[in-house]
A and B are shown apart, each in its own frame.
Chain A
Amino acid sequence: MDAAVRLEGVTKTFGAHRAVDGLSLTVPRGAIFGFIGPNGSGKTTTLRMILHILYPDAGRIEVLGSTSRRAANDRIGYLPEERGLYRKMTVRRVLAYYAGLKGMRLSAARGEADAWLDRLGLASWRDRKVEALSKGMQQKVQFIAAVLTRPDVLILDEPFSGLDPVNLEALRDVMLDLKRRGATVIFSTHDMTKAEELSDTICMIFKGKKVLDGTLAEIQAQYGMDTIRVRVSGGAGALAGLGAGVRDLGQLQEVRFEGDPQELLRKLLERGRVEHFEVKKPSLHDIFLRIAGNGR
């Protein structure tokens, strides 16, 4: 497989805390790669190592076929989790500066910045200082800074946090558009729905170690079709003692049942009237909770 990013046995320790522990993963070229995991699991540290902002204590990182910082970094766009823009600079100037640091010519950077500002509805703000922009607008400017140089690899750390639904849709469209143009997009998120919707490949790390890796279908197959949603006349109380765990969703209850679903249905019918019975694949959210919940 042609890889945009390849990590082999990467470890990073801060003092006594091992943030990333022997992580190996491969991000295919041209894919959208969802990087999930609970807070403090090592996602941001991994992304920073891919960007050569941090260096691993052990292991090997290859980006776009090179292990050298200089060769790869100009071809990577980066949106950090915490936004960083010069408040006293104008929008256009800050974008041109960031693009310039990636090696883009000033005239080309200005032209590209204008096109992106126009596309994301910020054309009239281009000559205003960053401090005059709302938080949402600043977030869009930060995103433009990441994509302005048409990077081969785009790394987005929690790109959806704090965005309203309109901007969220706009960002999603741009990510898909970049993928169509051949770019590889790596994004970390807590939003499992977005990870499911967008990712070709998903990787979950937990306490610095990889616990999931593959396409959504592969992951769901790995975790089996053992989630059953039911609505019974006795409510959640009627499900006591059935399955490994029962989640009360209000109008429905969710049961994790290892075995033949028909067996569960039979047992439920013995206890009362069954109004709803649905065998479903476990969602990424469920899998996430299962792994993170068990690990705590």
Chain B
Amino acid sequence: MRMREKVLPRVAAKAFIPLILLFGLYVQFHGDFGPGGGFQAGVIFAAGFVLFGLIFGLETLQQVVPWSIVERAVALGLLLYGGVGVTCLLRGGNFLEYNALDHHSSMHGQHLGLLLIELGVGLTVAATMLAIFYALAGRERA
């Protein structure tokens, strides 16, 4: 809590957090072309929020990203991944055969499938990291 009154960490965090989140989004959605992917993006994204929590306090962070959202996002990411697989099945392909997502262009289907599953991985990873941080940082000394 005392961290909130210190000027230097506050100013530095305010400058860095948007950049970290932006970089996380870049790694997430540019992962097909550049290095990175859902896992890395999720961790970077979570690290940005953890930094916010360290500087401005856990309560402030939990107002920005409430526990209910984190809890749901952990499951939503995995559901999105599995859902893409089931969608492939329903559209006549094998499980996770992204070619089936677009019957006109299998390459486009692959791109769409990869984008969606990476999003699922990113969601689950970011939310799990935040959940562990919330659970650990929210505990009182025994």
Chain A partners chain B: no
Contact residues of A with B, CB < 8 Å?
none
* Chain B interface (Cβ < 8 Å from any Cβ of A): none
